[in-house]
Structure formats: C-alpha cells, structure tokens
Structure 1
Amino acid sequence: MSDQDARELRRGRIKRMLSPKSAVFIGGAAMIPAIEYCRARGFQGEIFVVNPRRNELAGVKCVPTISELPIDPDVAFLAVPRDGLIGVVRELASIGAGGAICNTSGFSEMHGGEESQRQLVEAAGEMPIIGPNCPGVANFADRACFMMDHFGDQDVGGCVALISNGGSYLSDLGCADRSIPIAYSIGLGNQAMLSVADLMDVVLDDPRVKAINLYLESIREVSVLSAAALKAARKNIPVVVIKGGRTTAGQRATQSHTASLAGDDVVASALFRRLGFVEVGTPLEALETLKMLVYAPSVKGRRTAYVTSSGTYAVLGSDVSEFNGLDLQPPSAEAAAETEKYLPPFIHPANPLDISSAQNEGYDHNLDLYRAYLSDQPDMALMVMCFPPEKGWDPITWQTTTAAFAKAAAEREIPAAFVNTVPELLPKADREKMIADGLVPLQSLEDGIRAVSNAMRASELAEELARKSDDEILIEPRLTGQVEPMSLDEAEAKAELAIHGVSVPRNIVVQPETRVSLEELQFPVVVKALSSELAHKSELGGVALKIQSAEEVWQIVRLMAAKLKQTAPHIDIQHFLVEEMVRDGVGELLVGIRHVDGIGLALTVGFGGTEAELLRDTKTVLLPASSDTISEAIQSLRLYPLLSGWRGRIAGDVEAAVSAIKKMSDWAISLGEAFVEAEINPLIVRPKGVVAVDAVTRLSKKAAPTQREQLLA
C-alpha cells in the first residue's frame, strides 16, 4: 500500500469515528457522565458498554468482553486503567473497530510514560486513536458526542470546529453564553497518533464548517499542518489559533543574537502568518473573533464608521480601535451635513459618532441617521453601547437603534457589528435578533473591537495567501530532536557565504609570529581574533578597528593575542582575521537563520550591529521565502526609513540586501539536516551593494561529520 493510500484509509476511519453509527464505552462507573452526555446530545446510533463486573452502566446493559460485542463499533471511548489500555486497544484493532478515543492518562504527559505511549501506538496498528489523556470528541452537527463530561449544549446548526490539545479550553468555549455556533469540539490530548493537523484536515471536508479554532500547546507535524492550512486557504475557511506554553530562546545556549531576538514564540507567530492563521491571545478573544468570521461578510478594509451613545465609549473605544488598527476617518462633508440633520443641536458629526439622545427618537429617525452616516460606504460599521441590566431601564430604545443600524448597514452591504461593552449584559434573545438582522453581537469592549480587527486581518491574510503559490505555504517535513552543533570560525563562515554569492570584505588570515604581506588590502582595516569557540569577541578584547598601517596591524595582533590569553584562557587562539573596513555604509542589518525543532528554518531580519538586542527591531519569516517576502520583511521594520532615504539621507541598496539574504537562505536550505544556525551581524547596506562584516555558522556534527572539511576544501 502506498503512503497516499494509507493516508486516505486513515482519513476514512477518522471520518467514521467522527460520524459513527455505533459506539462502545469501555470502563467503569466514571463513564456514566460520558454516556449520559452522549444520550442527552441526541446520539441516534447503537450504544454498547463493555465491563466484566457490572450488569449495566447508565441504563445500558454491559457486555463482558470486547470479543462478545455483536458488531465492530465505529468508535470506542476508553476510560480504563492505564495498565489495561494497551491490551484493550490491541483487541479493538483486531476486531476492526473504526477508532478509539483514549481518555486514560499516565503516558507521555508524565515522566517515564513515553515508552508506554509508543507501545500504545504499536498496539493500535492501522486503527486511529485520539489521545491518550484526552477529554474526547463531540460532533454536535451530527449529534455524536463522546466526551468525559459536559462540554456545552450545542444545536445541529453549528459551523465552527474547535480542535484543542486540552479539555478545559473546549469546555470553557462550549459552555460560554456567547452565541457561538460550534459544530465540532475535539480534544486530542497527547496526540500519540493523530495530531491537530490530522483532525483539521478531516473536518475541512465537512461543508458545514465555516471557521476553525486551534488551541496548541505544542506544534507537531508542521508539514501536515501546512498542508491543512493550504486546504483551508483554498477553501476560504479562516483559522483562528492560540498558542499556549510559549518559551523563549534564551533557554538554549547560542552564539548569535538571532535566538534571543526571535524566540520560539516569535517563530510560532511567523509560522501562523505563513499559514494564514489569525493569532489571538485569549479564549474570549477567540470566541468573539469566531463570531465575526462566521456571522459577518468578509471585511475588505479597515475604514470603520463607529457609532455610540456615550462620550466615554467614544473616547475609550477610539483608543482601543486605533490601537488595533481600525481606521476611523472623519465623515466627508456631504455625509456630515446629512447626518447633522438627525443629531441633537449640541452634537456634531464625527468618527466616533456620539448620537446622544437621538437614540430615543424612534426607528425611522434612527434609520435615516445611520443611512446618512454610512453614506461614505466604509468597510465596516461598528456600534458600541451597553444594554441595560435586567430590571434596569427598558431595553426598547437599545433594541430599536440596533435594528435601525443593522438595516442601514445591510442596505449598503456593509459588514456590521454591535459591541456590548459589558459582556454579560447582552441578553441571548437580543443576540439572536441581531444575528438574524445581520449584526454581529460582540461582548466586551476590548475583545469585541479586537475581534473586528481580527476579521480584517483574516481578509488580509486570505488575500496574501491567494497571491502565493502552494510552495510558498507548504513546509517540507524536517527531522526533529536535539543536535550537537559544531561552529565555524568567522573566516570559515565568511568563505562559505562568499562561495554562495554573499559579498564579504577582502581579508587575510594571519598568525602573530608569521608575517605575510598585507599590500592587497586597503587601509583602514580591522583585526579580529579567530576561533569557533569565541563568541561576542569585542567584549573580550578580540576586535580592533580603524588600523591605518601594516606595522600597526602586527602590533595589534601581538597585543591582542597576549590579552586574550588573560580574558579567554580556555580558548587556544592562533589565527587572526585582517580585513578591510567598510566606510560607506548607509545602515546595518542583522540576518539570522536557525533551525527550530519541529518547525523548520526561521529567517530573522532586523536592524543590526552591537545594539541589535537593544533595538529589537526584527521580523521573522519561515523558509523557503520568496524575494518578495524577504523584501516585505525588511520594509516592515520600524527603522526601514533609515535605509530608504529618510529626510534626505543617502538611500541604501535594499535590492542588493534582499538578493544577499535570498542567497543565504537558499544555502541554508541546501544544507538540509546539517544546518543549525547562521548569522550575519551586521550586513552593511551601502549605496550600491551590501557586505557581510561579521558572520556565525553552526552545523550539526551528527548530520554532517565531514561538513567542515568539505567547506574548507
């Protein structure tokens, strides 16, 4: 069987698990809530329970053993003791069960559980398993719910798929009173066999799914995830993602600035951008964003017409809006003149627009007001208010003005949302009326406005991915695991860059006691100590600048050698690099590429030099990356104007910088598993051309034991 045939067979079995006609629960009394939840959600298929010591569980007659089941179940929910799980999985696989959901814990999430998890996967064979240590799976759209406990009351009209490492995230979102239409709630636990990417790929085949939300505590099978992302992009299905368990690159030893400037969290964000995922920070932001994505038409720009009935919400809301990138342009003269006809005499048209007491003027008056205000045809219509609490003011004026706002926006085919500033004060009945009217009911001032911005971001990402080829989205599989690196010294690293087309200064390698001619160099020059073990050499006295003569070079080399014996006595330094200084630089860039375990190669560009970590002006993208993507990364830097002729400065050759970075990237890719990390800091950008002034390269000893010899040959 080919790999493709095996994948299709597994996809078919996963679909059988998600939409089963029969199910078996295996375990003890702890499963009673799961069985009752399955029934309460309306499962129409056959239910069996396997338990050798009980006659019934939750009203279902027990079957003593798996072999006595009258059918091969489409899905099995397992909550058995850890020691017995592997045997149960092996027996289910032998009878042809569709798949198993393993709620049992005590595997790779615990120290020493990795081997047991490996044995579990081996026992499953071709039978797919979800988990272990997972809460379960709920397909609300088909009333097939197999969860360890209550994960929300959802109807069959859902269109959002939640896929998560953990169960609490699913429970919180599923039980939230937020009018979120959930079709699938899938908890994967340890992902021993099936990953988030596998399940995402399958649910994308369901035409009812209109948006996907991923909660990731780890990122596995990036190549499969990228294929699923490509599928989502081509189907125009947005993906909202939260990454938990972020770490920093400062936890690993490194010889470069790149890892500290582009830690694992930055690389994860770069991955999500490449895949077109909308990244959010909290579950509630995810909820509100999903509502925007499934209830509103695509928002094609950021020009927003903002309406409120409070000066406070005008001020606070405009702050939040502008911080999140909403464009609050003032109304045109024509729109302002028409709008003013319907405002109290003490209110003037603006954006945000405080309608004040006009809210009380009835439906027709409000409709005319909003028709006038939206006549500039903005990209987004946004209303920010707060419904009164129960037993407070009569909500009729809020209901009237929101209905008029929805009608005016619908007439002009403008996406529209209502933000209730206090989340719990927007009644369900009013949310449902807004949804029916085409007005998205958002809850919480900050989360609601961020959701609007995220919907705009989703459209921007979709347009970006539509312009990209499949190869610019997909990521090739790459081996993972710890590597033992070896470092090249600066001369060796620069020689390798030069071979691959990156310009470096003219230089000569010398020894303190062996004089060679320096006539081919133009002064001034710089002297640097050479050693693959010497990191940040300027801080140890291993760099001298602006040397004007050959005689001074030899004096500096001898003095530097003597000093380094004191500052770095553990390093045997015998060689020194003498190279020409670059005197016409316009700006300095840091260019770093490193292998990130489980993801691949990450390229970081930023403003460089010794102040790189202080400036922290960087952009990270994943490789391979096109020249256009590299150019966009450079132009996104805050200090980019310093390279492009800001205030009469000489412009730098950015095109040459892009070319050099592309060549460096292609070289890193070509090394395959041998590559660990490389950095140029700085890459000096000149009026014409660029030059790599300092370089670091590290390779894997295991993957390329002779790589260094090949480079130096």
Structure 2
Amino acid sequence: MAHRLDALLRPRSVAVVGASARPESMGEWALKNLLKGGYEGSIYPVNPGYDELQDLRCFPDLGSLPERPDLVVFAVGDQRIEAALDAAIAIGVPAAVIMSTTIIDDDGVPPLKDRLQRKINAAGIVVCGSNCMGFYNVRDHVWACGFDSAMHEAPGNITLLSHSGAGMSGIIDCDERVRVNLAVSTGNELSVTMDEYLDFALDLPETRAVGLFIETARNPKGFRAALEKANQRHIPVVAIKVGKTEKAARLAVSHSGAIAGNDAAYEALFDRFGVQRVLDMDELATTLILFAELHPVAAGGLVTLHDSGGERQLLIDLADEAGVPLADLGKETVVELEKILDPELPAVNPLDAWSRGGSNYEQQMTQCLSLMMQDDGAALGAAMLNRAPDGVIYPIYLNYVQRAHVESGKPVALVAARQGTGSDEVVVTSTHAGIPVLDSVPLFLSGVRALFAYRDFLLRDDDAPVAVAERAVAEWRSRLRLPGTLGEAGALELLADFGLPVSRTVRVNAGSELDEAAESCGYPLALKTAVRGVAHKSDSGGVVLNIGDAAQLAEAYRKLASSLGPEAIVAPMADEGVEMILGATRDEQLGAIVLLGFGGVLAETLQDVKFALPPFDAAHARRCVDSLRLRPLLDGVRGKPAADIDSFCDLAARFSAIVDALREEIEEVDINPVIVHERGCTIVDALIASKRKQA
C-alpha cells in the first residue's frame, strides 16, 4: 500500500546536492552512505566542481539530471540551502533531506527556517529535517545520512525515531545488539512529523518495537492516532521524553524550535497508550533489545540464577527498587531443586546454585534454571553472571540459558553484573538468536519492568467512559461563554447538575441572612468567603470550620466580612474522611488533562497526584490511585475506617467525562477537597476557570 513517505523513505532515485570528495565532509558521507547501504536505485551526485565522484558521474545542477529524482539529499550549508531548495522545487522534486541548521547570522524577516517551511508547504514536498542527521531505511537499503556511520548488516526489527541526531546515532552506531529496520533523525520537522514516521514503521511487517527520543509532539492528533495504531498491532513503544524540567524545556526551543509541553500531559498520554518511558539512552537501548527479542511475556514474575550469594541479595534489593516482581516458586519446584542443590543452599528465587562448585557445576546450574523457568509463576528467566577477566562472556554460560529456554518455552536472558562490550561476537550472536545478553542488572531490571508493564497494559479491560447528560452539557456550554465568573457557588452548581456529590451551600450577603442559612444547613457549619478573586480561601483566612451555634456563626461572619467582604457561603460540615483532590488543566499541545490524588491544604506540598487524559473509566482511576505514594492512608490508619476508594474512583471517572465534554469551555478546575468517607464522598470546595475568564 502506498504511503505519503514513500518518495522520502523508499525513493527510486536519489540526488546528493553538495556531494564532495572532501574527507569527512557532509557531502562525502552522504554519498558514501548511500553506496555503503547498498542502495539499488540511481544515485546522482550534484556539484559543479566535479566530473565524477565515487565512480559516479557528477552533475553541475539538478536541471542537468537525466530524470527528476524522487529524493534530494541536501549536503549544503545554511547560506546555500534556500537557493538549493528553490532549484529542487523548480523541477518538481517530491522529497528531500535537509541536514543544515537553517540558522544564519543577520537573518531577515521572516527567518530562513520559516521561509523554507512556507516554500516546502506550498510545493507539497515531503522533507526530513531540517537540523537533522537524515535517516537509515536499512530494510530498503536507503541510507540518507550525511555523517559517519557504522555498518548495519541485516535489517532488524526495531524502529528508532529521534528529534536528536545523537539520540539516533548514539543507539544504532554504538551497540550491535540493536538492529533497526528504520532509524530517523527527524530534526525540526518542517513538513514530516514524528507521528508520520511512526505510522510508516508500524506498517513494516518486521517491526516489533519502536523507540522514540522525543522533545514534543508537533502534531498531537496524529501522534495519538499513531500510538493507537501501535496498540492495535501490539507493537510496544518505548520513549525518552526530554524537557521534563523547566530548564530542559527552554533548551528544547533553542535546539529544534520545539515547545516541550507539560510533562504531566505526556505522562498521561503515555499511560493512556501504554508507552514505556525510560530515563536515558542506555535504558532505551536495553529495553528495545528486550522487546525486540523477548516480547510478549506471559503472566508471572522474574526468576534469576546466580553463582554468588551476595549478588543474589543485591538483585533482590534492586528488583524491589525497580518494581519488578520476583516469582514465588511452587512447592513441586522447590522439592526438585532441593534434590540438586548442596544442602546449605535454600531453594528460593532468586537462586544461588553455586556454593561448593565442583565438577558438576555446569549441570547443576543448567538444571536449576530450567526447573525455575518451568514453574507456573515464572514469566521470564535470567542467569546473572560475571564476565571473564578479559571482559568477554564465557560461552559456557549460554548453555544454561539455551537449555532453560528450550525446556520451558519461556524467554530468557543472560545478564552480566557489570558493563562490558555490546560488540562481543558471542553477545551479538546470542542476542540476535533470541537470547539477549545484556549488561548491568539495573538496566536489565528497568527493561523487564517495561516488559511486564506493557504485558499488563495489553490485558486491561477498561469500560467505556461514563456518559454525561447532554442537557447539562448544552446548558453549561452556554453559561460558561457568558460574561462574568462562576465563583464557588457556580462551580458547585455545575458539578451538581452533572450528578456529582457536592456539599449543600447557601449564599449570604449580610448578617441578617445567617439564621436562615444555618437553619437550612444545620450545625455544625463551615463559613467561607465568596468574594471574587480569592482562589485559595484558607491562605487568606477565608474559611472558618466547625461553627457550633448562632453566636459563633455571627462572630465568624463579622470577622470575615470586615477583612474580605460581605459575600460568603454557609455549608454543613462534611463527615470525616480522607481529603483528596480532583482537578483539570489544559496543555497547549495535548489538550485537557485530569489530575487526582491527595488533597486538602497540603495538596501543593505533598504533590502526590497522578495525571490522566479524559475521559477514562473507574478502573483507570483506580490504577492511578493505587500508584500514589500515600495510598495506604486510604486503607485506614490509627483506628480510622478505610475510605471508600471505589466511590472516589467512580467520581473521578464521571468528572473526567465532564472535563472532556466541556473541553472547549473549561481552562482549569480545582476540586479540593473531595472528602472520601467510609461510604461515599463529598465535594466540599471547587473552582472553575473558563477560557473566557478565570472564576
């Protein structure tokens, strides 16, 4: 099936503008890489200074070529790129690679990059770049890259897409265990965004895993669609997302013109679509290798074999820290292991099977790993062993894992306790044969965590999002567009109209109205300011709680009115419970996001919240709640009853549906606190900022 990127990634002919014989120049590498990759189409070097390059006829300009090339690789500097692009547009070139930064001193208005983008869009050219290293379509032998490159022999099953050129080359050129079918340095994405490359890669039959080095999603809608396509095909996506800190986000703008976006929004996006986020390039490479060679894994945990008691103990600590479950061995497995092990060795997972060593150690180690991996609780096995003094892997170690793999039918890896070389012939051969040999226990465990997390993601059986009343949606869309602000009373009214459990409130504007309000609500009472512009009432002395009688109410109101103004709200005190928070905000790229977590006056201090894309169901809300640091508080502490988590999760799901329905009208929502009782929950306070004006 034809794809929009075919002319770029599968060209029938390629011209290299700026091709050169100057050693280690972009023009030399661009031409050499096409030849090195075994490109089978026509190659046209273009440079008026040469008659021949690399045994190929060299042409003075694009107009002299015998045919219009599908792809032009521009190996020219920033001062020459605009004229070179104009020449390509003049002959109707459909695709190009622009590696130059497109930044020039004393530039005009609009700047060079903007001028190029306008011309590219007007001509409909498909462009990789600018400010990129190009791409490697190893599958189809198209290496359109203007930089030095390692040899990439056979097309692999990993796709790597990177906004950073080094993010691409640092993975594919530095570790032979990572085999790519397609790697792209996308750069500034003047016309083709990362989601389009991802869409292309997902159609390649050998793609088993995709790695992303991402600064931002320039086409959020397309990015979500591509991630959904990956889910439908059960192809895992692993991502480094930079710009998490404010400083890194600012630098993203100067690097590629990218606005990094709210990191919380990307966390929510990745969680929704099962993207496995990693922290650095080592973790990215390890995780991609595991997905490429071992995915999918069945239910269960990790079993590991050791020849050191100390390293076994270290593995237990590291697995706990990484959140990787270790399998509990069944009784039958334990009995069989005890028959093999020396008496002083406990038959447990992780297993130290060495002890006294002896002439039969190889047989003993092999049998032990095989038995553990055949256990019903084992999803994945690993032999954790050390490299030889010269840094290479002992080939005998492979006997353990190969036999265990054959006898159990389950995936297995060999993991060296310390870093070695990924280019060791035994390491590369074994990895490409489906038994990865990896370095660093923490890196391995981070990859296993991703394997298990993606497995569990695919097993999710979420319900459809909660439906909201169309009548209420229509009414509040109209009201939120009117001049003025909602205030707390209006915010609570909105939530109540959608059926959420809000506290009863009575608005008062004078002391003479207090008795009627108190009679309506009943003591004990809460009194809160309703003056416009007071967002955090507790910080301003605008909240008085546990008012027990009329005298206390009158005195509290007198002080409140004198300091903040006469407008106030009277409400009954809610029953005891755990204070939680629900909220929503808008990311300029990804749209609405919902937050849920622990609330109250310490909400900003605790920062114990999770983010999710609306709408979602109660099961998704429950996963968010279960991941909170203070989650045990909801189970009851110091004699307090357990909180009704199910009720809160149901409320969160219904709230997310409201946020989604009013996404064009609402800018921000803060519901704090939501008091979660032993049975049910109550919304006590709320703020809503509409797009027209903050409430």
Q: TM-score range by the shorter chain?
A: 0.7 to 0.9
Deviations 1:167-187, CA, capped at 9 Å, x for gaps: 011111112234111111101
Q: Which whole-Å CA distance do the structure 1 matches of 2:14 and 2:344 have between them? A: 67
Deviates more, 1:419-428 or 1:138-147: 419-428
Q: Structure 1 residue 108: deviation in Å? A: 12
CA distance in 2, matches of 1:152, 1:120: 31
1:602 equivalent in alignment to 2:601? no
Distance 1:597 1:375, change over 3 A: same
Amino acid at match of 1:559: K
Task: Determine whether 1:46 maps to 2:45.
Answer: no
1:446 and 2:442 correspond: yes
Is 1:37 the counterpart of 2:28? The answer is: no
| Cα offset, 1:197, TM superposition | 0.7
Residue of structure 2 equivalent to 1:540: 540
Matched, 1:699 2:690: yes
Which of residues 616, 624, 634 in structure 2 aligns to 1:625? 616
* 2:255 aligned residue: none
1:526 aligned partner: 526
Offset, 1:104: 1.7
User: Which residue identity is paired with 2:608?
Assistant: D
Partner of 1:184: 182
SS at structure 1 position matched to 2:534: coil
Supply the distance in 1 between the matched residues of 2:358 and 2:209 (Cα, whole angstroms): 35
Question: 1:475 — aligned with what?
Answer: none
Question: In 1, Cα distance between the equivalents of 2:628 and 2:300?
Answer: 21
Cα RMSD (Å) of the superposition? 3.3
Deviation at residue 366 of structure 1 after TM alignment: 4.2
In 1, Cα distance between the equivalents of 2:300 and 2:107?
49
Q: Secondary structure at the match of 1:290?
A: helix
1:530-609 to structure 2, matched below 5 A, reads 530-564=530-564, 573-582=565-574, 584-609=575-600
The verdict on how the C-alpha distance between 1:589 and 1:671 changes in structure 2, with shifts beyond 3 A counting, is same
Q: State yes or no: 1:407 paired with 2:399.
A: no
1:163-174 alignment runs, 5 A limit: 163-174=161-172
- Structure-2 residue corresponding to 1:159: 157
Amino acid across the alignment from 1:451: G
- Kindly provide the CA deviation profile for residues 568-626 of structure 1, in whole angstroms up to 9, marking residues without a partner as x: xxxxx4522222221x2322210011111201211111121112233333222111212
Partner of residue 17 from structure 1, selected from 4, 8, 22? 8
Q: Aligned with 1:630: secondary structure?
A: helix
C-alpha displacement of 1:513: 6.7
Deviation digits for residues 406-452 of structure 1 (CA, Å, limit 9, x no counterpart): 21232111210111122215662221443366422111221122222
2:414 pairs with one of 411, 414, 418: 418
8 Å CA contact 2:46, 2:59 repeated in 1? yes
Offset, 1:297: 4.3
Tell me the secondary structure at the aligned position of residue 138 of structure 1: strand
Output the amino acid matched with 1:386.
N
Alignment of 1:131-530 (within 5 A): 131-247=129-245, 264-356=262-354, 357-358=356-357, 361=360, 364-377=363-376, 378-390=378-390, 398-424=394-420, 428-435=424-431, 438-464=434-460, 488-512=486-510, 515=513, 517-518=516-517, 519-530=519-530
Q: Is the 8 A contact 2:465 2:617 kept in 1?
A: no
CA contact (8 A) 2:538 2:601 kept: no
Q: Relative to structure 2, which stretch is displaced further, 48-57 or 676-685? A: 48-57
3-state SS of paired residue (1:142): coil
Task: Please give the secondary structure, in 2, of the residue aligned with 1:12.
Answer: coil
Whether contact under 8 Å (1:502, 1:660) holds in the other structure is yes
Paired position in structure 2 for 1:478: none
Structure-2 separation of matches of 1:605 and 1:327: 26
Q: Deviations over 1:105-151 (max 9, x none)?
A: 13599999875434323212322112111110111122210112024
Displacement of 1:329: 4.1
> What's the secondary structure of 2:520's corresponding residue?
coil
Any idea what the Cα deviations from partners look like across 1:484-534, whole Å, max 9, x if unmatched?
x99642222222222222232222222347646323221222222223422
Instruction: Give the secondary structure class of the aligned counterpart of 2:533.
Output: coil
What does residue 101 of structure 1 align with?
A: 97
Matched-pair contact (CA < 8 Å) for 1:624–1:665:
yes
Structure 1 stretch 589-598 or stretch 443-452: which is displaced more? Answer: 443-452
Distance 1:627 1:236 in 2: 24
Aligned residues: 659
- Once residues 484 and 397 of structure 2 are traced to their aligned partners in structure 1, the CA distance between those partners, rounded to angstroms, is 68
| Mapped partners of 2:573, 2:247: distance in 1 | 32
Unaligned runs of 5+ in 1: 1-7, 253-262, 473-484, 565-572, 709-713
- Which stretch shows the higher mean deviation, 326-335 or 529-538? 326-335
Higher deviation after alignment, 431-440 or 196-205? 431-440
Alpha carbons 1:683, 1:693 under 8 Å: kept? yes
Which stretch has the larger CA shift, 157-166 or 352-361? Answer: 352-361
- TM (normalized to structure 1)? 0.85
SS in 1 for 2:5: helix
Q: Percent identity?
A: 26
Segment drifting more, 111-120 vs 165-174: 111-120
Q: Residues 402 and 186 from structure 1, CA distance in 2 versus in 1: closer, same or farther, beyond 3 angstroms?
A: same
1:223 shift after superposition? 1.7
User: What 5-or-longer segments of structure 2 have no aligned partner?
Assistant: 21-25, 251-260, 468-482
1:634 aligns with 625
Assess, with a 3 A threshold, how the Cα gap between structure 1 residues 164 and 360 changes in structure 2: closer, same or farther. Answer: farther
Q: TM-score by structure 2 length? A: 0.87
- Alpha-carbon distance between aligned partners in 2 of 1:659 and 1:331, rounded to the nearest angstrom: 37
- Output aligned runs, 1:675-694, within 5 Å: 675-694=666-685
Aligned-partner SS, 2:130: coil
Q: 1:641 deviation in Å? A: 4.9
Q: Which amino acid aligns with 1:420?
A: A
Shift of 1:37: 2.2
| Larger deviation, residues 404-413 vs 626-635 | 626-635
Distance (Å, rounded) in 2 between the aligned partners of 1:62 and 1:692 = 74
What amino acid does structure 1 have at the position aligned with 2:571? Answer: E
